[in-house]
């Protein structure tokens, strides 16, 4: 099952760890990340970015006097609609007050749904026990998310290039969420430059000149990689209208810049709309954006997997990479194997 729009780390995270500059290998790194993300889901039988979907189940027999629906080893985060006799012309809706998602003390993820036995509700079979119960909801191990700025423009619900307020918070490979937990999820496949409307003072071609004065400091965000003319700079901090930067960042060429040179930032996101079962919708300027944040060890393994395969690819899968001194470095994947075993012990399941 391809998860081409569900990655567990970003291109920048891999490039930073390896020390790669420029965009020449971005497509290759993306392929390694996609493969690593698929490996995570295949070996663990779990998704760590949620999907919205309808899942069907057989009518559950009464066990121990209770009405219990086991979820076939699926991870449930939240139910939005529960229906019995799902294949009938008029399914029976079981309202939220009449059922529990369990286990209550450790979920989500939840592994079963139980009818509240103090209610009059019950799971009912339709014409056949097959696919009698339909559960609409959000499925996955979790749905933790972090604030990631806001939209800088109105979105009509069909655009694939979205302007945002802060490029430092979103990377290529992130899945963002607009409109809350039940809103629209989008996969970020690329980032393009947007005029921040900030302008600089004159700058010399001196890498030690790391203080960049701008007309309005609030137009730039710390952590962004800005572009002035063709030179990229990493903004480390901002004090008033002064930016502290790393000059000639990401393999760009150190250059001089005249007064009022424009400052650009990669705030235009190229996105795949309505991923993971969500629905495309219009969104207004200033609508908050969140990005999904899978568990740290999942993201670490994804990054390590991509890096390991990059290094092995450099070696022609011989495990020996030439170095700049004319010798060679042997690369091994034992550490990756140990990380995988740790994840299997913590998260592993038989099937997705």
pLDDT, mean over the chain: 91
- Residues 293-321 have a mean pLDDT of 84
Confidence label for 5 from pLDDT (cuts 50, 70 and 90): confident
In a domain, 46, yes or no: no
In a domain, 33, yes or no: yes
Where is pLDDT greater, at 313 or 82?
A: 82
Residue 138 has pLDDT above 80, yes or no: yes
Both 243 and 210 in one domain: the answer is: yes
Both 203 and 111 in one domain: the answer is: no
Confidence label for 351 from pLDDT (cuts 50, 70 and 90): very low
Both 301 and 288 in one domain: the answer is: no
Both 150 and 275 in one domain: the answer is: yes
- Residues 235-255 have a mean pLDDT of 97
Both 152 and 134 in one domain: the answer is: no
Rounded Cα–Cα distance for residues 125 and 327 (Å): 70
Confidence label for 326 from pLDDT (cuts 50, 70 and 90): low
- With 0-12 / 13-18 / 19 or more C-beta atoms within 10 angstroms meaning exposed / middle / buried, residue 175 is buried
Rounded Cα–Cα distance for residues 57 and 38 (Å): 26
Per-residue model confidence (pLDDT) at position 4? 76
Both 114 and 57 in one domain: the answer is: yes
In a domain, 129, yes or no: yes
Confidence label for 310 from pLDDT (cuts 50, 70 and 90): confident
Among 198, 216, 208, CA closest to 244:
208
Query: Among 247, 271, 292, which residue terminates a domain?
Result: 292
C-alpha distance across the termini of the chain, in Å: 10
Rounded Cα–Cα distance for residues 99 and 68 (Å): 10
Both 176 and 251 in one domain: the answer is: yes
Report angle CA 274, 279, 284 to the nearest 5 degrees: 85
Residue 66 has pLDDT above 80, yes or no: no
Rounded Cα–Cα distance for residues 249 and 245 (Å): 9
- Residues 207-216 have a mean pLDDT of 97
Q: What is the largest CA-CA distance in the chain?
A: 80
Confidence label for 128 from pLDDT (cuts 50, 70 and 90): confident
The boundaries of the domain holding residue 8 are 1-41+295-352
Confidence label for 319 from pLDDT (cuts 50, 70 and 90): low
Cα separations (Å) of 103 from 80, 113, 252?
18, 9, 53
Q: Are 8 and 141 in contact (CB under 8 A)?
A: no
Both 119 and 226 in one domain: the answer is: no
Q: Strand pairing partners for 226?
A: 233
Q: Are 193 and 266 in contact (CB under 8 A)?
A: yes
pTM, two decimals, is: 0.91
Q: Are 109 and 79 in contact (CB under 8 A)?
A: no
Q: Are 136 and 54 in contact (CB under 8 A)?
A: yes
- Residues 187-215 have a mean pLDDT of 97
- Residues 156-178 have a mean pLDDT of 97
Question: By mean pLDDT, which of 20-29, 47-56, 241-250, 320-329 is the weakest?
Answer: 320-329
In a domain, 329, yes or no: yes
Confidence label for 352 from pLDDT (cuts 50, 70 and 90): very low
In a domain, 98, yes or no: yes
In a domain, 270, yes or no: yes
Domain count along the chain: 3
Among 177, 143, 148, 180, CA closest to 164:
148
Could you tell me the two tokens for 3?
A: 């998860």
Q: Which DSSP category does 58 fall into?
A: P
Both 185 and 282 in one domain: the answer is: yes
Both 57 and 77 in one domain: the answer is: yes
In a domain, 265, yes or no: yes
Query: Among 83, 109, 139, which residue terminates a domain?
Result: 139
Rounded Cα–Cα distance for residues 187 and 193 (Å): 18
Both 251 and 307 in one domain: the answer is: no
Residue 313 has pLDDT above 80, yes or no: no
Query: Among 97, 123, 139, which residue terminates a domain?
Result: 139
Where is pLDDT greater, at 337 or 216?
A: 216
Both 345 and 220 in one domain: the answer is: no
With H, G, I as helix, E, B as strand and everything else as coil, classify residue 14: helix
In a domain, 175, yes or no: yes
Question: By mean pLDDT, which of 35-44, 106-115, 321-330 is the weakest?
Answer: 321-330
């Amino acid at each position: 099952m391809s998860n081409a729009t569900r990655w567990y780390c970003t291109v920048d995270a891999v490039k930073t760890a390896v020390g790669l500059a420029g965009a020449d290998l971005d497509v290759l790194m993306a392929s390694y990340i996609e493969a690593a993300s698929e490996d995570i889901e295949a070996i663990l039988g779990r998704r760590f970015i949620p999907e919205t979907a309808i899942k069907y189940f057989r009518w559950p027999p009464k066990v121990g006097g209770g009405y219990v629906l086991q979820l076939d080893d699926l991870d449930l985060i939240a139910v939005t609609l529960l229906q019995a006799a799902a294949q009938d012309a008029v399914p029976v809706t079981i309202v939220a007050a009449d059922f529990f998602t369990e286990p209550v003390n450790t979920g989500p993820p939840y592994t079963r749904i139980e009818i509240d036995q103090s209610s009059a509700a019950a799971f009912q079979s339709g014409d056949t026990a097959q696919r009698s119960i339909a559960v609409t909801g959000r499925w996955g191990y979790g749905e933790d998310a972090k604030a990631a700025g806001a939209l800088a423009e109105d979105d009509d619900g069909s655009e694939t290039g979205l302007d945002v307020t802060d490029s430092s918070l979103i990377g290529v490979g992130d899945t963002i969420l607009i409109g809350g937990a039940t809103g629209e999820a989008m996969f970020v496949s690329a980032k393009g430059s947007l005029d921040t409307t900030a302008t600089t003072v004159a700058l010399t071609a001196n890498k030690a000149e790391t203080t960049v004065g701008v007309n309005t400091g609030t137009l730039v965000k710390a952590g962004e990689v800005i572009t002035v003319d063709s030179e990229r700079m990493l903004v480390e901090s901002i004090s008033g209208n002064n930016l502290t930067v790393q000059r000639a960042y990401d393999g760009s060429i150190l250059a001089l810049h005249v007064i009022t040179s424009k400052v650009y930032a990669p705030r235009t996101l190229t996105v795949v709309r309505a991923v993971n079962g969500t629905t495309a919708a219009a969104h207004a300027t200033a609508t908050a954006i969140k990005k999904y944040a899978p568990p740290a060890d999942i993201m670490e393994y994804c990054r390590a997997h991509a890096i390991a395969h990059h290094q092995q690819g450099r070696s022609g899968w011989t495990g020996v990479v030439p170095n700049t001194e004319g010798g060679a470095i042997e690369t091994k994947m034992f550490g990756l194997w140990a990380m995988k075993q740790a994840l299997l012990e913590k998260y592993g399941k038989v099937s997705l």
